[in-house]
Structure 1
Amino acid sequence: MKSTTALALAASLMASPLAAFDLNDMSTDERAAFQQEIRAYLLENPEVIMEAVAVLEERQANAQAQNDSSLVQVNSEALFADPNSYVGGNPEGDVTLVEFVDYRCGYCRKAHDEVAQLIEADGNIRFIVKEFPILGEASEISSRFAIATKMMAGDEAYKQASDTLIALKSGVEEPVLRALADSLGLDGDALLLKMASDEVTNVIAENRALGQRLAISGTPTFVMGDQVLRGYMPLAQMQDFAEAIRAQ
C-alpha cells in the first residue's frame, strides 16, 4: 500500500514553490518513502520524462537563440559589411544570408545547390560567403584560391571559382589550380603568388576569429537575420526562415 505520508508530501511539493521544499527537512523514512513514490509515478507515467526533456530542450534552444542574436549584433559589421567577402544574389535584398563554407565539406557540397535554388527562386536574398577552411590542407588551399581570385578579378570570377571548387572531385595540386586559373582567364603564376600572400592569410584569420566569436565549429553554418543556423538546412527550411524574418 502506498504511504499516506509520502502522498501528502508529494501533494505538498506540487502545491508549493519548489524553492520552499527542502528534502533535508524530511526524516530518513519520509525521504525514502517520497523517493519511492516518485519512482513509482515515473514508471507508471514514463511519458512525463519525455515531456520534461522536451521542455528542457525548448528552453535550451530559446537560450541559444537569444545568445546567438546578441553575438550576431555584436559582430554585425564583420558579418555583413566585410569588404573581403563575396556578395552575391541580390545585393539590395531584404534578407541577408551568410554562409561559412569549407570546399571539402560534404554537407557544404550538399547545401550548395539548395542555396543557389533559394537565391534564384526568391530573388531578394543578399548572399555573403565566408571562407572557413577547417578540414585540412586541401580546404585551406581551396579557400586561398577563391580569395585570391576575388582579389585579382572580382566577385564574378570568384563565383566561378567557388562553384568549381565546391564540385571538384580531384585534389587541389598545382596543375589543377593552374588549369582552373586558365579557365578563368587569369595568370596562374600571379594567382599562385597571391594565394601565398599575407593579404589572403589575413582574410582567413579574420574569418576564423569571427567564427570563434560566434561559436562556430563546423560547416556549413549560416547566419540569417539575427540567428546562427548550424549545419545543413534543406531548401524548404531556409525558405521558412526567410519568410519568418520578413514577417517580423
Structure 2
Amino acid sequence: MKTTALALGLAIAPIAGFAQDLSDARIKELALEAIRENPQIIMEAVQLLEQQQAATQADAAADVLKNQRQSLEHDPNAPVLGNPDGDVTVVEFFDYNCPYCRRAMSEVQGLLDADQDVRLVYREWPILSEGSVFAAKAALAAREQDKYEEFHWALMGMEERAEEASVMRLAEEIGLDVKRLRTDMDEPEVQEHIDESMRLSQALGFNGTPSFVIGDDLVPGFVEQDQLEALVDKTRESD
C-alpha cells in the first residue's frame, strides 16, 4: 500500500508542478482551445448544472411537502373555498393581474362544481405589479366583511388590470364598505399571508402564476379542469 501511494505521488508531482508553472492567462487560453475543439463541452456543462439544480430543487420541494404540509394546506390565515371539510386539498398560488390565472378561473370553478369534496386553499401571491399587491391586500381584507369569495371571483373576472382605482370601484359595486376595507388592508395578518406565500412559493420552486399543489404533485402554469380532476383522483387514491 505504501509503495503504491509513493508511486502515485511521484506520478502526480510533475503534473502538479506543471500546473503551478502555468499562468492564469495560459490556463484560460488552454480552456478556450479545448472549447473550440469540442464546443459541446459547454452544452454538457450547462445540462449538468441544470440537472444538479433541478435535483436540488426537487429535494427542497419534497421537504416542504413532507414537513410543511400543515402550513401549506391548513394555514388559518389562508382563504378556503369549496368544501372546508373536503378529503383532497388543492392549493393555488395566483396573481390577479395574471392572464393565465384569469383563464384558470373557470377551470377551478368547474372543478369545485364537479367535485363536492375538494378544499381549495388560496395563496395570494402578487408578483406582477403594485396593482397586484393592492388587489391581494384588498381581497384578504374583505374577509373581515365576509366577502372574500365574492370579491375574489369579481377580481378574477375583471377585463381591465387590477389597480387601486379599479379594485376600489369593484369593491364598492359588490357592496363592500370601502373605508373599512382600506383600514383592514393594513392589518398585520394581510401582509403575513403574502409573506408566507412568498416563502412557500420559493421553497417549492415556483416561478410564476398560477401554480398548484395537489397532494404530492407540483403543477406550474395553466391547467384545464380534466387535468385538475385527474390529479385530485390520483391524490384521493393514494391516501
Tell me, yes or no, whether TM beats 0.5: yes
Residue of 210, 214, 217 corresponding to 1:220: 210
Aligned partner of 1:131 in structure 2 is 124
The alignment yields a C-alpha RMSD, in angstroms, of: 2.6
Aligned partner of 2:176 in structure 1 is 186
CA pair 172-247 structure 1, distance change in 2 beyond 3 A:
closer
CA pair 104-171 structure 1, distance change in 2 beyond 3 A:
closer
Find the residue that maps to 1:93 and give its secondary structure: coil
Residue of 139, 145, 157 corresponding to 1:153: 145
Residue of 230, 233, 241 corresponding to 2:231: 241
Q: Deviation at 1:172?
A: 4.1
CA distance in 1, matches of 2:75, 2:83: 16
CA distance in 1, matches of 2:160, 2:188: 27
Q: Deviation at 1:202?
A: 2.1
Q: Deviation at 1:178?
A: 3.5
Question: 1:38-49, aligned counterparts within 5 Å?
Answer: none
> Does the Cα contact within 8 Å between 2:95 and 2:127 map onto a contact in 1?
yes
Q: Deviation at 1:229?
A: 1.1
TM-score by length of 1: 0.69
Q: Deviation at 1:247?
A: 2.0
The one-letter amino acid of 2:113's match is: E
Find the residue that maps to 2:114 and give its secondary structure: helix
CA distance in 1, matches of 2:85, 2:135: 28
Aligned partner of 1:90 in structure 2 is 83
> Does the Cα contact within 8 Å between 1:68 and 1:226 map onto a contact in 2?
no
The one-letter amino acid of 1:124's match is: D
Which deviates more, 65-74 or 229-238? 65-74
TM-score by length of 2: 0.71
Question: 1:16-165, aligned counterparts within 5 Å?
Answer: 68-150=61-143, 152-154=144-146, 157-165=147-155
CA pair 199-124 structure 1, distance change in 2 beyond 3 A:
closer
CA distance in 1, matches of 2:149, 2:129: 22
> Does the Cα contact within 8 Å between 1:69 and 1:227 map onto a contact in 2?
no
Aligned pair count?
A: 190
> Does the Cα contact within 8 Å between 2:88 and 2:118 map onto a contact in 1?
yes
CA distance in 1, matches of 2:197, 2:54: 25
Sequence identity of aligned pairs in percent? 36
> Does the Cα contact within 8 Å between 1:142 and 1:172 map onto a contact in 2?
yes
Aligned partner of 2:34 in structure 1 is none
Q: Deviation at 1:221?
A: 0.5
The one-letter amino acid of 2:71's match is: A
CA distance in 2, matches of 1:137, 1:181: 18
Find the residue that maps to 2:92 and give its secondary structure: strand
Residue of 199, 202, 216 corresponding to 2:192: 202
CA distance in 1, matches of 2:184, 2:177: 11
Find the residue that maps to 1:135 and give its secondary structure: coil
Q: Deviation at 1:217?
A: 1.3
CA pair 181-243 structure 1, distance change in 2 beyond 3 A:
same
5+ residue gaps in structure 2?
1-46
CA distance in 2, matches of 1:178, 1:234: 30
CA distance in 1, matches of 2:174, 2:213: 30
> Does the Cα contact within 8 Å between 2:135 and 2:164 map onto a contact in 1?
no
